Structure formats: structure tokens, C-alpha cells
Amino acid sequence: MAYTFTQEENDTLTRVGPGTLMGGLLREYWTPVLRSERLEPDGAPVRVRLYGKNYVAFRTTDGRVGFFDEACPHRGASLALGQNAGNGLRCIYHGWRFGADAKVIYVPTEPRECAAAFAAGVKVHHYPVREAGGIVWVFPQEGKTPPKFPDLEFTHLPPGHVDVRVGVFNCNWLQALESVLDSAHLGQLHKSSADDLRRRSGDGTTFSRTFKIFAQAPAPRFEIVETPYGFTEGAIRDLSDGTRHVNLRQFIAPFTSLLPGSPDRYSMICIAVPHDDEWTSQFFISYHPYLPLPQDELAAFWTYADKDPNNIRGDLGSVKNLWNQDRAAMKAGHVSGFPGRQTFQEDFIVQESMGPIVDRTQENLGSSDTVIIHTRRALIRGAHALRAGRPPWGLEQVDGVDFSKIRATNKVIGAGLDWRDIDPYQDWVQAFEARGAPAAAVNAG
């Protein structure tokens, strides 16, 4: 029997502005907002739109990061226009200057004898900031103690082991999140692009073997295990020889998906962050705990995106030209009609093709959408729980979680084995050591 969501449920899931249920839930978590490299000491401040509000981020002369409401507390001029110098951000309208700690440093519009007292009484709305893994993270609430920081494995690795890329998309955050959560489309949408990538990367890799399995067994069975931080998902495909292929994903509430990687390639994490109801950033973090990343392979993978790692959407086109779909290539056998695009860009096109906010009341969800349904229900329950005064989803028992040990994996197991017995962390260790190399995780120290 097909399942659909109501209009009320869809509104709860997609509306993220101040005062909304989902906006309230999402503000309870550490949120990635920028690649660290975008903020240079004394460089131009960066305007950030997050959960329906506008902010400004800047890096001071001594390297600290400030994150404020965009509007100057004096008359509301944009601080994104400000001058960043001398360990402070100066509003160009009247010259007020602010430090990264949100103290008003200088108020030239007030008499000298009372300027200091006046400045001390000015409230600057600023928010806790943390840098880790090449990303600036923000806890977007004032006056509240942030939860435990999700220091995932990549945040402990040196730069050569981590690659962070970001794209901005004209669609609701849930469409971006669900494009990553949906395992059932892999053997269909990406068949041709995966074949192309496999030819370039070689048929001997786990990646190549996995995508062959997706094409041969397109209808996985899903099983979910709840965890203190979210859930673990097993996407199980029965193979012709009696074995089973398992894509073991980790999901960290509310928007972080650890994709099933493999030791002979690298791991990837995807995070969907709402700007507002209709615009979203997606962070794609590639990393390997033991080896430097293969830069040539990464370059090939993102070839058709913009060379700027802050714009992996690249020149996809839009609905006006149907994202430059090549119907001749489709007639010739290319499944999606987007030859030359890599797999994630096909996802980007599909998620934008649904419109800014998809109407979920018109869907017909089946067993292949098990993880989608589970995640939506968990988000809705979490939002209502928070408003009722209970802890948010994934934060109830998070203090005991070692985020740096959370890994995803994919492998073939015997018919009689239970995928729940797989330890993804040790699975990587054993697979890597089987290649004759010690699995000693690199620590940036």
C-alpha cells in the first residue's frame, strides 16, 4: 500500500524560519555554514543565510571568527558591507566597530566622555563558533549551552586526508537530504555516469563492483537500527550466488549522512543545511583515515562541477532549459540524458526539478522509501518533542557517543550472517590491514 504525507506534515518538515517547528529543532545542533578557507584574516566578511535569517561571518587579524546577525545593532545596515581590519568589523554607515567576541570596540557617533558606557550597553547578537575539519560550524542560539560537538573522524585528520566542497541549490533542504538518503535510485539514475566513472577508475575497485551490484539488484530491502545519535541503516541486496550485499549507512540527526565508503577509495559525508525554505547548501566531505586522498581521482570525480570548491553545483542550467538535458544521448542509451555529469550532479538536477518545495501529498511511497519515511517521522517527532520540552532527536544520550569512531561501510556477507553484527570501524581496519598496511589512523595532533 502506498503511503503519502499530509500537508501539515509537509509544512512541518520544510518550513525552517524563526518560530517554526522544524526551524526550532534544527537550531538545536551544531551547523556547518562555510568552508574555513572562505574567511581570510582581515578579508571580506561573508554573508550567511541560515534558517531564514541573515548573518555575517568574518575572521579577525589574529585569526578568530566572529558570527553575528547581519544587521548592525545601530541602524540595521548590513555588516557584510563592513571593513574588516584591526581585529574588528567596522560598519561603513557610522563607523561602529565590533570584535569577534561581540563587544562594541568603538562608537564614533557618541561623545567621548560617554562613548564607552554607551558601547557597553549595546547588545550584539552573536553565536558560538567552532572550526574543525576545514569547516566553520555555528550553534545558532544565544545564551544556551551548545550540545556536544560532533567531532567526526574527518575533523581529526590533516588537510591532505580531507576534501570539503559546497554547493547552493534552489530547493528545500529536505529534498537535498533525501536525495542522499535514497539508495533505491542508485542503479537507475546513475547507471550511465557510474559506468563512465568505473571505466576511468578501473573495474577492480570496490566502487566498480558495488555499482554493478546496484544495477543487477535495483530493489534493496531496508532495515534500520536506532542509535543515540540517529540511526544505522542496512540496505540489503540479495545476490544470485546466495550472498548479500549490504550498504551500511550512518545517519546523525538531523542532517548528516555517512555514505558507505570503502578502504580502496575513501569515505564521504553529506550534510544538507537550509538557508531558508527554498534554498539549501550541501556539504560534501571526502576523507580517508589512513591515506592522503587521491587528488587525481577527486579532480576527475568533480570535473564537471565548477573548479571553485564553494560552487560544486557548477553550470547545471535550470528548469528553463531542463538543465541542458541531452535527448540525443538518451536515445543512444544514456540513462539520465546528462552525459559528462558525475553522479551527484545528476542528484542535484533531480532535487531541483521537484520545484522549491515538493508537494509530498502527491507522493506514493513504497518499500523502497523506508528510510525516507523513517527519517521524516523522526524529524516530525523530534520537532514536537522539543516544543513539548523534551530533548531533541539524537541529543538525548549523545554525551556517551564517540563521533570519531562512527564509520559507514559496504560489503558482501554470507546468507546466514546478520548485517547488524558488522562493526564498520573494524571492518575498515581489517580490510586495510588485509592489503598489508597497518591501519593507524592519522591524527593532526
User: CA 416 → CA 138, 185, 210, 412, 413, distances in Å?
Assistant: 45, 27, 21, 12, 8
**249 Cβ partners below 8 Å, 6+ apart?**
181, 183, 232, 233, 235, 257, 258, 259, 260, 408
**Taking the domains of the chain in order of start, what are their residue ranges?**
37-138, 153-433
Cα separation, 149 vs 152, in Å, equals 9
Top-tier CATH class for 153-433:
alpha beta
Cα separation, 105 vs 95, in Å, equals 10
Q: Write down the pLDDT at residue 445.
A: 38
Contact 36, 404 (CB under 8 A): no
**142 Cβ partners below 8 Å, 6+ apart?**
125, 126, 127
Contact 281, 288 (CB under 8 A): no
**8 Cβ partners below 8 Å, 6+ apart?**
none
Architecture (CATH level 2) of domain 37-138: 3-layer Sandwich (2.102)
Tell me the pTM. Answer: 0.93
The residue whose grid cell reads 508537494 is 359
User: Which residues does the chain have with pLDDT short of 70?
Assistant: 1, 197-211, 214-215, 217-218, 304-306, 436-445
Per residue in 307-334, pLDDT tens? 789 888 888 899 999 999 999 999 999 9
Cα separation, 107 vs 203, in Å, equals 65
**329 Cβ partners below 8 Å, 6+ apart?**
337, 338, 339
The grid coordinates listed for 112 are 567621548
Contact 28, 46 (CB under 8 A): no
Q: Write down the pLDDT at residue 160.
A: 93
